[in-house]
Amino acid sequence: MADQDFQQGFVYTGLPTRVIFGFGTRARVGEELRRLGIQRPFVLLSPRRAPEAQALVAGHGIEIASVFTGAVMHTPVDVTNRALAIVEETRADGLIALGGGSTIGLGKAIALRTDLPQLVLPTTYSGSEMTPNLGETSEGRKKTVRSPKIQPEAVIYDVELTLSLPHALSATSGMNAIAHGVEGLYAQDRNPIISLMALEGIRALAECLPVVVDRPLDRTARATALYGAWLCGTVLGSVGMALHHKICHVLGGSFGLPHAETHTVILPHVVSFNAHTVDAELRPVTEILHSLGAGQGLFDLARRLKAPTALAEIGMLSGELDRAAALVMESPYYNPRQPTQEEIRVLLEDAFNGRRPAL
């Protein structure tokens, strides 16, 4: 960052979310609920964590309004409406979301419509908890909404909640987080503070994810991964993203592809596409990954993590690539190198077949 051109100036706005990080920090749920004035929380959990709802608030004099375990990937509006009806019926005065991006996304969708305070306990590396962004799906299209109402008021990072995260999801969720950091480096509204966070987050994740995959109960590696995810999530919430996120939203919202896996597959190809245009911004990523190019290093990292590297592996059909390319081009989206529809089609073809990006 020593060569940052300060002559151009920059704007930086800090996110207002309170962060509590450590081991066993979920024991502080009660004090955070009291600080937020929440007495009847609506609790969102993944189905396998449903038995943990009462334990979250036990001994704190808190009455749970209701428990909801029906969050769905890509936050469909009809699921939000169903949950919202329960929130209104039970007169909940706040939200607790314990889980990954789908559960957290549903909580944010409810907060957007009600302005209820949110307390979030992430169990993956999605980073969604640190953003005022919400991706909602309706009628086969995924749209992004940004609002201060969406930003969670408090996040409790408890490393112990990630120890049981399967190694496959650890890998793809971690690559998803890296994607936020990488695109933050060449964001249209980037600034040196966010660039520092992005590089530190990418470094932390790139170093620890292989350890997490090989030794899932390694507490130091798990803590480092969650730390990196927090930083990259902060990047996602602070600056705009680019072509990578546009493509992933199209593939997820219109073709139902899994979120983290899609990010994992697409990232190396978009980074390689942008590499020559933003060489200076991506050079530190190349160094972190000990590679000749950032896109190639990201592809090799995904393979090292035994993560998917081809769209064909995660449910995409070859006959859908033309439509996907057209949908990506439908609405303008910032990217440092503006692609043509043909270039998007070639990129998707390479990603579909799992080809290692060329330098």
CATH classification (class only), 18-162: alpha beta
The Cα–Cα gap between 265 and 274 comes to 16
Output the pLDDT for position 41.
97
pTM: 0.94
Output the pLDDT for position 54.
85
CATH classification (class only), 167-353: mainly alpha
Structure tokens at 224: 């480092």
The Cα–Cα gap between 324 and 253 comes to 11
- Cβ(73)–Cβ(103) under 8 Å? no
Radius of gyration, alpha carbons of the chain: 20
Written as tens digits, the pLDDT of the chain (359 aa) is: 445 567 678 888 888 999 999 999 999 999 999 999 999 999 999 888 888 888 888 878 899 999 999 998 889 999 999 999 999 999 999 999 999 999 999 999 999 999 999 999 999 998 999 999 998 988 888 888 999 999 999 999 999 999 999 999 999 999 999 999 999 999 999 999 999 999 999 999 999 999 999 999 999 999 999 999 999 999 999 999 999 999 999 999 899 999 999 999 999 999 999 999 999 999 999 999 999 999 999 999 999 999 999 999 999 999 999 999 999 999 888 999 999 999 999 999 999 999 999 98
Three-state SS at 244: helix
The Cα–Cα gap between 216 and 266 comes to 25
CA atoms within 13 A on the CB side of 304: 17
Instruction: Concatenate the DSSP letters of all residues of 308-333 into one string.
Output: ---GGGGT--GGGHHHHHHHHHHS--
The Cα–Cα gap between 239 and 146 comes to 11
Residue 230: in which H helix or E strand, if any? helix 219-238
